[in-house]
A and B are shown apart, each in its own frame.
Chain A
C-alpha cells in the first residue's frame, strides 16, 4: 500500500499485475469449465430435457393406478433429407411397465447419409424418470439412397415420477452427421 514507503514500487506493481493476470487466466478456464458444469448440473436436475444413456429394465412394480400420456415427435434438422416420423404419435402408459414403439426413417437423397437422432424430453424434470432400455438414438444410422428403416425404441417410466407430471413429450431431431463421420473415417 502506498501509505507505507515501499522499497521498489515497480516490483510491487509487477507482482500485483501478475496476480491479476492469473485471475484472468483462471477465469478463461472457468469459462470452459462452465461446459462440464452445465452438463453435470443438467444431468442432476434434468433441466435441459436430455435423457440419460441406456437403462436396464428390472421389472418390479407396475403402478396400474396412474396413467401418463406419452407423446412422440420426430423431425429432421435443416440439411437432413430424411423422412422421419413416429408410427404411434401418442399413447398412455403405466409407470413401471416397459413399452416398445417404432419410428420410421426414409432417406430421400440419392446418396448414403449418416444420421444421428438427438432426444429431448419435456417437461425437463420428467427426463430423470424416462428410461430407455433400447433406442436408435444410442447409435448412428447409415442409410443408403432411398433406403427405409424401422427403428425400435423401448422405454419405461419410473414409478417415482412426480404426481404433477401428466404428459411427457419425447422429441427426436435427426441430424445429418455425414460430414463429421467422413472426416473421422478419413482421419483413420
Chain B
C-alpha cells in the first residue's frame, strides 16, 4: 500500500502557490485550514447578529431595530452559528488532524474534499444574501417551523432552502470522506480500538451526519413543494399536519446537537491526558459511551416538542429516553475527571479550555436534565432557560472545545508557539464573559421571559442588561483570540515536534509545522 501512495504523490511534492493553491487544493491540511478560516468568518458574522440582538435587549422597549428585523437576526444568528461556525470548525479539525492522527497520507477522497469545502461559501452567500432582499431574510427562527416558514415565510425563504440543501451536501460529502479515511487509510497496526478518541468521536459524528442531514434535506424539500408546487405536507387545509414538520425537523435536530458536541468530547479526551501526563482513563468505555449517546439521539427527538399535545405515554417515553443519555454522558465526565486524578497536571491554555469545557458543559448538561423532565418543561418551554441551556452546551461546550483544539494543535500547524500569556488572558476574560452572558439567562428564563421577543417585561431588565454587557465583552475577547492566532502564525519562537511534554500520538511524531505531505510512508503503530 505504501508504495502505491508514494507513487501517487511524488510528482507534486512542492507546495503550489497563490490563489489557485486554495481553489484547487486537494491537500487535507489546506482544506482543514480553509474550513477553519471560513468557520471563524462565520463566527464573526453570527456574532455580529448576536450583538444586534443583545443591543436591542439591553433595555426593555424597542430602541434600535424593528421586531421584524429582530426576528431575522435570531434566525440568521442560529443558522450561521450552527451550520457556518460550529460544524465547519469541527470538519476543519477533522481534515487537519484525522489523517495525521491515524498515519494516513491524506483524506481518502481528496477531490471530493475540495468540493465539500467550496460548496460552503456559495451556501452562505445564498443564505446571507436574503438579508438584502425585498421582504427581508428568513424570520421564523433557526428551527423554521411550518407554517411560519411555508405559508408565512418571506420570499427569501427559497434562498434559505437551497442554502440548506448545499450545506447538507457539503456535510454529507465531508462525513463520507471521514468514514472512508478512517476505515481504509489507517496505518498498519492502528486498529480501531487504538485510534485516538478525537478520531472515534468524529467517526461517530460522521455516521450521524450521513443519517440525518438527508432527512433535513427532505424536510426543506417538502417546504419548497408546499410553498410552490401545491403539495400539503405541512398544510392542514390539504390534509397535511404542521406538527409533522416538528417531528421531522427534530428527528434531524436532536442528532444534530450531538454532531456539534461529539467532536468537542474527542478534543477534551485528547487534551486532558496530555496535560495530566496520564493515558485517558477508560478508553473503551469512552468509545462505547459515545456510540451510546449517538444511538440514543435517534429516539429522543420529541423532547423538543413536549407542549404540542402529546399523549402521556409519549411524554413518558421521550422523557425517560432523554434522561438515559445522562448515563453515557456521565461516564465521559467521570472518565475525564479520573484521567486527571493523581496526574501531574499543568495548566497551559488548551488544558484550561478543556477544563472549562468539562465544567461548563456539565452545567449545560444539568439544565438539559431539567428540561428533559416533561412537567417542568411545560414551564421552561420557549423561555430564556432553553436559551441558557443550549448556549452553555454550544459556547463553553462546542466552541470552547474548538478553541482548546486550536491552542493545542496551533504549534503543530504553524510550527510556532503562541503567546501563552495573552492566550491565558484571553481564556480568563472569555470564561468571565461567557458566564456573565449566559448565566443570567437561566434566571430570566425561570422567571418566564420568552425567547425570540425583542421587548420584555421590566422585571427582566437587570438580567438582560448583565447579559448584554457580557455579550459585548465576549465579542471583544474574540479580537484577542484572533490576535493570538495571527501572532502565532507570524511567530518567531519555534515549536518542537512534540510541542507538549505529555503529548502522545502520531501527529506529534511529525515535525512542527507538519510537512505539506506527511506519512507518505505509513508509520508503524505498535
| Chain A residues in 8 Å Cβ range of B109 | 13, 17
B188's partner among A2, A116, A175 (CB-CB below 8 A) is: A2
A1's partner among B5, B186, B217 (CB-CB below 8 A) is: B186
| Chain B residues in 8 Å Cβ range of A122 | 309
The complex places the Cα of A42 from the Cα of B236 at a distance, in Å, of 14
For A1-20 the 0/1 string (1 means CB < 8 A from B) is 11101101100110011001
Residue on A with the closest CB to B236?
A: A118
> Would you call B214 and A28 a contact (CB within 8 A)?
yes
For A164-185 the 0/1 string (1 means CB < 8 A from B) is 0000000001011100100100
> Would you call A2 and B108 a contact (CB within 8 A)?
no
From 150 to 200 in chain B, residues with beta carbon under 8 angstroms from any chain A beta carbon are 172, 175-177, 179-180, 183-191
The complex places the Cα of A23 from the Cα of B186 at a distance, in Å, of 23
A31's partner among B108, B177, B214, B314 (CB-CB below 8 A) is: B214
From 147 to 178 in chain A, residues with beta carbon under 8 angstroms from any chain B beta carbon are 173, 175-177
| Chain A residues in 8 Å Cβ range of B175 | 20
> Would you call B184 and A28 a contact (CB within 8 A)?
no
> Would you call A24 and B214 a contact (CB within 8 A)?
yes
From 204 to 254 in chain B, residues with beta carbon under 8 angstroms from any chain A beta carbon are 210-219, 222, 230, 233, 236-239, 241, 243-244, 247-248, 251
The complex places the Cα of A21 from the Cα of B210 at a distance, in Å, of 8
The complex places the Cα of A12 from the Cα of B183 at a distance, in Å, of 10
| Chain B residues in 8 Å Cβ range of A99 | none
A27 and B183 in contact, given A9-B5, A124-B309 (Cβ under 8 angstroms):
no
Least Cβ distance of A163 to chain B in Å? 15
The complex places the Cα of A38 from the Cα of B218 at a distance, in Å, of 15
Residue on A with the closest CB to B239?
A: A118
From 34 to 55 in chain A, residues with beta carbon under 8 angstroms from any chain B beta carbon are 34-35, 38, 42, 45, 47-48, 50
| Chain A residues in 8 Å Cβ range of B172 | 24
Residue B19 at the A interface, CB < 8 A? no
The complex places the Cα of A6 from the Cα of B180 at a distance, in Å, of 14
Residue B18 at the A interface, CB < 8 A? no
> Would you call A13 and B184 a contact (CB within 8 A)?
yes
The complex places the Cα of A177 from the Cα of B251 at a distance, in Å, of 31
> Would you call A27 and B1 a contact (CB within 8 A)?
no
Residue A56 at the B interface, CB < 8 A? no
Residue A77 at the B interface, CB < 8 A? yes
A1 and B237 in contact, given A31-B214, A34-B215, A35-B244 (Cβ under 8 angstroms):
no
| Chain A residues in 8 Å Cβ range of B338 | none
Least Cβ distance of B467 to chain A in Å? 35
| Chain B residues in 8 Å Cβ range of A177 | 237-238
> Would you call B1 and A16 a contact (CB within 8 A)?
no
Residue A30 at the B interface, CB < 8 A? yes
A13's partner among B108, B189, B211, B237 (CB-CB below 8 A) is: B108
Residue A62 at the B interface, CB < 8 A? no
A1 and B218 in contact, given A31-B248, A175-B236 (Cβ under 8 angstroms):
no
A34 and B186 in contact, given A47-B310, A77-B237 (Cβ under 8 angstroms):
no
| Chain B residues in 8 Å Cβ range of A5 | 1
> Would you call B215 and A31 a contact (CB within 8 A)?
yes
> Would you call B1 and A118 a contact (CB within 8 A)?
no
A47 and B311 in contact, given A1-B186, A17-B109 (Cβ under 8 angstroms):
yes
The complex places the Cα of A28 from the Cα of B522 at a distance, in Å, of 37
> Would you call B188 and A30 a contact (CB within 8 A)?
no
A27 and B310 in contact, given A2-B188, A180-B230 (Cβ under 8 angstroms):
no
> Would you call A30 and B179 a contact (CB within 8 A)?
no
Q: Which of A32, A124, A177 has the most CB of B within 10 A?
A: A32
| Chain B residues in 8 Å Cβ range of A47 | 310-311, 314
> Would you call B184 and A1 a contact (CB within 8 A)?
yes
> Would you call B248 and A34 a contact (CB within 8 A)?
yes
Residue on B with the closest CB to A177?
A: B237
Residue B376 at the A interface, CB < 8 A? no
From 268 to 304 in chain B, residues with beta carbon under 8 angstroms from any chain A beta carbon are none
A31 and B219 in contact, given A1-B183, A47-B314, A183-B230 (Cβ under 8 angstroms):
yes
| Chain B residues in 8 Å Cβ range of A8 | 4
| Chain B residues in 8 Å Cβ range of A123 | 311
> Would you call A9 and B4 a contact (CB within 8 A)?
yes
A20's partner among B179, B191, B237 (CB-CB below 8 A) is: B179
A20 and B251 in contact, given A1-B183, A175-B236 (Cβ under 8 angstroms):
no
Least Cβ distance of A52 to chain B in Å? 13
Residue A145 at the B interface, CB < 8 A? no
> Would you call B241 and A180 a contact (CB within 8 A)?
no
A16's partner among B184, B188, B217, B239 (CB-CB below 8 A) is: B184
| Chain A residues in 8 Å Cβ range of B247 | 34, 38
For A113-125 the 0/1 string (1 means CB < 8 A from B) is 0001010001111
Least Cβ distance of A17 to chain B in Å? 5
Residue A83 at the B interface, CB < 8 A? no
> Would you call A17 and B108 a contact (CB within 8 A)?
yes
The complex places the Cα of A48 from the Cα of B234 at a distance, in Å, of 13
> Would you call A3 and B188 a contact (CB within 8 A)?
yes
Least Cβ distance of A160 to chain B in Å? 18
| Chain A residues in 8 Å Cβ range of B311 | 45, 47, 123-125
Supply 13 A–B pairs (Cβ within 8 Å), ascending by A: A9-B4, A12-B184, A16-B179, A16-B183, A17-B176, A20-B175, A21-B176, A27-B212, A32-B222, A34-B215, A35-B222, A47-B311, A118-B236
Residues of chain A whose beta carbon lies under 8 Å from any beta carbon of chain B? 1-3, 5-6, 8-9, 12-13, 16-17, 20-21, 23-28, 30-32, 34-35, 38, 42, 45, 47-48, 50, 77, 116, 118, 122-125, 173, 175-177, 180, 183
Residues of chain B whose beta carbon lies under 8 Å from any beta carbon of chain A? 1, 4-5, 108-109, 112, 172, 175-177, 179-180, 183-191, 210-219, 222, 230, 233, 236-239, 241, 243-244, 247-248, 251, 309-311, 314, 522
A-B pairs with the 5 shortest C-beta distances? A31-B218, A175-B237, A27-B214, A31-B215, A28-B214
8 more contacts with CB within 8 A, not counting A2-B184, A16-B179, A45-B311, are A3-B186, A17-B112, A17-B176, A38-B244, A48-B241, A50-B241, A118-B236, A180-B230
